Amino acid sequence: MAIATINPATGETLKSFEPLKDAEIAAKLDLANQAFEQYRKTSFAQRSQWLQKAAQILDQEKTDFAKVMTLEMGKPYKAAISEVEKCAAVCRYYAENAADFLADVEVKTDASHSFVRYQPMGIILAVMPWNFPFWQVFRFAAPTLMAGNVGLLKHASNVPQSALAIAEIFQRAGFPEGVFQTLLIGAAKVADIISDDRVKAATLTGSEPAGASLAATAGKHIKKTVLELGGSDPFIVLASADIETAVATATAARMLNTGQSCIAAKRFIVEEAIADRFEKLLLDKFLALKVGDPMQPDTDLGPLATPDILQDLDQQVQVAKNSGGKVLTGGYPMSDRPGNFYPPTIITDIPLDAPIAQEEFFGPVALLFRVPDIDAAIKLANATPFGLGASAWTNNDQERDRLISEIEAGAVFINGLVKSDPRLPFGGIKRSGYGRELSIQGIQEFVNVKTVWVK
């Protein structure tokens, strides 16, 4: 794939970049390695000062950064503004809390003095996706840099200007040269970088095949990985729920980022007693959404990021229809305009045993299923190889406790939208990946947990 900014709303190529040559990659690895030897000795207070400055830059220039994201991958501009603000928030969170998260932990043993110390590992490689071009990187970078590690970013090839802008933010914030670098390279170069002895670990957010490939290479070289992969998140609505609020949240949960989010609600599992009402209200909400120019403030849905994503999504919709699914609205690409536009789509009546019922739809397509009771709802929610997040709606305490305990996912949100929050760990189980980002768990993924025993 070419490394280029191609406006998904128009198909116009705005800027192209030459991938780094092998000698240039080697030079950046050398620089990162040298930077780590000095950076690891800096204090939490100094790192915090630099990261606070990065947050300040993000806040002050959020309109510029948001525009870059919208032009590169089609995110509605108002959502892009929110994304930059969230990046500033995660920087401040770790700037304020990292010293406590990584403080020595005293443990009473037979020693005179024994404790656990957290120390940085070195160069961490981040392979990041296009759908949240700033947030995915900052939620990795903020804890990684505060822990005393240095970062190398291999971003998605369709968001090169976002990748370069992020590296520039850290440089302008005062971080020493080489502490955070962007590598404009294709996916084929990733294995060689992971194999380099100077690279100590890697994290990837992206597709299941990409995660499997990275983990296999890292495993061969005995290196730790954290993977955040796909999801086919259930959104369960039981009869006791507040239906109007559930429908409003369901619409937001499916259409976030034009449906291009791993934690977007994708399978709507509704108890039969309220299914007709839920379906009608959801259809009304979908029909009211405005698809159009992502730079306009009243646009709800922009284009999909690339023509391939549009084609893959439409192919899934056609398979769902051929499997017996019924399309209530949408169900076809919007060919009356340039760009990668797909309308809000609802599909019902997909047989539960159809393979397509378990797949992840990465776009504005909702699959609606009816179930007789909570037992069937939980069974269907878990009938997928993924286990990232789940939203469940009930006002019954016993149902709530069952949903929390029995849904197989890295996160369960009761009567709320699944979202990432710097204060809470984020990640999945099953084929949605392993390891955690954010909170104290996230910063402790890429450190040496050293046991110290003194007598």
C-alpha span between 389 and 366 (Å, rounded):
16
The helix-helix angle for 397-406 and 374-382 (nearest 10°) equals: 20
**Catalytic one among 72, 83, 87, 228?**
228
- The verdict on whether 359 is a catalytic residue reads no
Contact 91, 52 (CB under 8 A): yes
- The verdict on whether 262 is a catalytic residue reads yes
Looking at beta carbons, which pairs linking 326-333 to residues 24 or more positions away fall under 8 Å? 328/279, 328/283, 328/368, 329/283, 329/286, 329/287, 330/286, 330/364, 330/365
Total count of residues recorded for the chain = 455
**Catalytic one among 262, 271, 408, 445?**
262
β-strand partners of 123: 150, 199
β-strand partners of 117: 450
User: The dihedral of CA 339, 340, 344, 347: what is its sign?
Assistant: positive
β-strand partners of 203: 126, 226
What residues are annotated to the active site? 228, 262
